[in-house]
Amino acid sequence: MLTLYVTRHGETEWNMEKRLQGWNDSPLTKKGREDALRLGKRMEKIDLTAIYTSTSGRALETAKLIRGERLIPMYEDERWREIHLGDWEGKTHEEIQQFDALRFHHFWNEPHVYQPARGEAFSDVQQRAFAALESIIERHASGDILIVTHAVVLKALTTLLKNAPLERLWDPPYIYGTSVTTIQVENGAMILLSEGDASHIEEVKHV
């Protein structure tokens, strides 16, 4: 049996500024680093076979903090990168609404009709993330694998695994930084065991 623990990178400076990142990047905040360390502590009793991570700096740093001093092989894969947001990258929600209001509305409220001027649609992200997932499953017949990726990638992937339409992409739960989504693979079947588990994050635990 193969168990996949899929997490989102820790909180970043641009997350705090409500600035979209996509293929662009910004550093983890103090909280982002602390949450990654908390997840590392939570997972320390799991004998991880490997860690797969997005090539973005925020994901790589999160992966390294979770791994800590453990000698776990780490593999970078561009297919785990966040959705490519074209001209939106580095801009705040407010700024995007000023020059691309309709697409921005589609992105958050009608994801099934969102079509970027430049970048990726949600279906593009689904296809590459699922292909990356299949690559891991082909390579590892059993064991425990950590995958460090991004919010849209996680939402696109779980929507697909639930056989839900893209219009349900933003359904709860919210994907907090370093929250864990668990997928079990047995006899070729992928089962979503949990989604967005943030029980190790202090402020979420007390909500």
Is residue 69 among the annotated active site residues? Answer: no
Is residue 82 among the annotated active site residues? Answer: yes
What fold characterizes domain 2-84+121-205? Rossmann fold (3.40.50)
Angle at 173 between CA 10 and CA 78, to 5 degrees: 45
Q: Binding-site residues, please?
A: 8-15, 58
Domain boundaries, the chain: 2-84+121-205
Handedness of CA 59, 137, 126, 198 (dihedral sign): negative
β-bridge mates for residue 146, sequence order: 5, 51
Task: Measure the CA–CA gap between 123 and 83, rounded to whole angstroms.
Answer: 10
List per-residue pLDDT tens for the chain, 207 residues long.
Answer: 999 999 999 999 999 999 999 999 999 999 999 999 999 999 999 999 999 999 999 999 999 999 999 999 999 999 999 999 999 999 999 999 999 999 999 999 999 999 999 999 999 999 999 999 999 999 999 999 999 999 999 999 999 999 999 999 999 999 999 999 999 999 889 999 999 999 999 776 554
User: DSSP label at 185?
Assistant: E
0.75 surpassed by pTM: yes
Do 181 and 196 form a contact (C-beta atoms < 8 A)? yes
Instruction: With both helix axes pointing from N to C terminus, report the angle between 30-42 and 57-67 in degrees, rounded to the nearest 10.
Output: 40
Q: Binding-site residues for substrate, please?
A: 8-15, 58
